Amino acid sequence: MTMPSRVPEPYGQGSGANLADILERVLDKGIVIAGDIRINLLDIELLTIKLRLIVASVDKAKEMGIDWWEDDPALSSRARRDELARENAELRERLARLEQLEPARAEEENP
Amino acid sequence: MTGLRYVYAVCHPFGTPLQSQLSGVAGDPPRLLHHHGLVAVVSHVPERDFAEGPLRSHLEDLDWLTATARAHQGVIDALTVVTTPLPLRLGTVFRDDSGVRVMIEEREESLRRTLERLHGRVEWGVKVYAEPEPADGAQGGAGSDDGVPAGKAVSGRDYLRQRRMRMRTNENMWERAEAFAGRLHETLAAFAEDSRLHAPQNATLSGASGRNVLNAAYLVPREESEEFVELVDRQKDDVPGMRVELTGPWAAYSFAGEE
């Protein structure tokens, strides 16, 4: 079988290959054939792997592009801070609305 | 070496030898197992690592997983240079050669069909990242618009106005990002034979910023790859706030499943 020689140089693969790109393909794509050793990757569930990652090595997980826990208040102090910030902003917004209503009400009451 | 058989891929027989220093998973160089006019690419792997129990626990070990995934991809990559491999999912393991042969017999028809469909094609990955504008810039902009000096909000209302401007700037950015990604995908999908949209990577890769708004794979005939790469290069020119990332050529991982 012959292949044309003009294939472009690989882009982004090799040393620069993003680990998440590789894992996405080798774990999640490709054909699924049940071997004699029956491991269903869906049983392992990447979620399980991800959870272990958090415990094991956050930096490594980030390198892999796995950072969903950062938005989960149960798992991340940063997310909890964000949640507080959001609550804070909501309260400010309500306060400002009240501030806006206040003069109008004052006019109504004292025409 | 005895042990189990780890299968990377199935392909048509090919004449060109694989690069010689290739070491597969568990350090065993890939071997070619010919059967029924097809080739399974296999490594011999030890039971202590690849029997069900050990394999299951290894899969949860990030370092092991990383090394194995890279080794698996390394073999697929080498195959992609000399033929069109049908990549199997990581961790497909048989007891012995005869188990692999039985698998080939049982799936012969569908393997051939898929190989035929993918013959001479490669996969290109394209990702688009949108970079949010720095909050300071948005704040300054909000201030100068209505003549109020930027900086600390003096009242709740000022605070809110500035905040709304910031949010609007961000919303516009996401709209622009989505529109750009949509146009890019449309153009590339029209050129490619087939395409797949994958879930955006929930990723801030080391050193890289931005939100992944497009994560797509395109099936392209090998001899049209150069043109495809040029097409991507042209589309990504000079769009502020957007970063386009091209990876490949990959084996047709995303298109290997049954239709």
Statement: residue B164 has pLDDT above 60: yes
Which of B151, B162, B180, B193 is CA-nearest to residue B240? B180
Structure tokens given for B169:
């700037």
Residue in chain A closest to B227 (alpha carbons) equals A8
**Does A10 fall in a domain?**
no
Sequence-separated (6 or more) residues with CB below 8 Å from residue A19 = A63, A64, A65, B66, B69
**N- to C-terminal Cα separation, chain B:** 38
Structure tokens at A17: 């290959």
Task: Give, in order, the Cα–Cα distances in Å from B31 to each of A26, A35, B39, B51.
Answer: 19, 18, 10, 20
CB-CB: which of A8, A22, A30 is closest to B226? A8
Q: Is residue A105 part of a domain?
A: yes
What domains lie within chain B, and their CATH numbers? Answer: 4-119 (no CATH), 122-133+172-255 (3.30.70.600)
CA distance linking residue B177 with residue A50, whole number of Å = 28
With cut-offs at 50, 70 and 90, classify the pLDDT of residue B95: very high
Token readout for B12 is 């048509």
For B121-146, write each residue's pLDDT tens digit. 999 999 998 876 654 444 444 444 44
Q: Does A85 map to a domain?
A: yes
Interface pTM (ipTM) of the complex? Answer: 0.82
What lies within 8 Å, CB to CB, of B173 at 6+ separation is B130, B132, B133, B241
Phi, psi at residue B190, to the nearest 5°?
-70, -35
Which residue on chain B is closest to A9 by alpha carbon?
A: B249
Closest residue in B to A32 (Cα–Cα): B89
The answer, for B191 touching chain A at a CB cutoff of 8 Å, is no
**Coarse DSSP helix, strand, coil percentages of chain B, rounded to the nearest 5 percent:** 45, 25, 30
Return the higher-pLDDT residue of B253 and B151.
B253
CB contact under 8 A, B91 and A39: yes
Supply B39's token pair: 């080739």
pLDDT band at A50 (very low <50, low <70, confident <90, very high): low
The pLDDT value given to residue B202 = 62
Average pLDDT, chain B: 86
Contact criterion met (CB below 8 Å) for A22 and B69: yes
| B164-169: average pLDDT | 82
Note whether B163 and B215 are within 8 A (CB).
no
pLDDT for A16? 42
Q: Is residue A6 part of a domain?
A: no
Compute the distance between CA of residue A29 and CA of residue B84 in angstroms, rounded to an integer. Answer: 16
Structure tokens at A105: 């009400």
State how many domains chain A has: 1
Interface of B with A in 56-85 (CB under 8 A): 56, 59-60, 62, 65-66, 69-70, 72-73, 76-77, 81-83
Give A66's pLDDT tier (boundaries 50, 70, 90).
Answer: low
Whether A69 is covered by a domain: the verdict is yes
Alpha helices in chain B (DSSP H): 47-50, 52-58, 62-82, 97-118, 135-145, 156-191, 225-235
CB contact under 8 A, A27 and B55: no
Report pLDDT digits (tens) over B59-79: 877 788 889 999 999 999 999
- The closest CB to that of B69, out of A13, A26, A92, belongs to A26
Q: How many other CB atoms are there within 10 angstroms of residue A105's CB atom?
A: 10
Find where tokens 């070619």 sit.
B32
Instruction: Give pTM, 2 decimals.
Output: 0.73
CA distances from B120 to A2, B78, B111, B168, B197 (A): 10, 15, 15, 47, 22
A36 inside domain? no
Residue B54 has pLDDT above 70, yes or no: yes
Q: Domain range for residue A82?
A: 18-29+42-109
Question: What whole-number distance in Å separates Cα of residue A32 and Cα of residue A36?
Answer: 13
**Is B222 touching A (CB cutoff 8 A)?**
yes
Asked if residue A2 belongs to a domain, the reply is no
Query: B20: which 2 tokens?
Result: 């010689």
The verdict on residue A96 lying in a domain is: yes
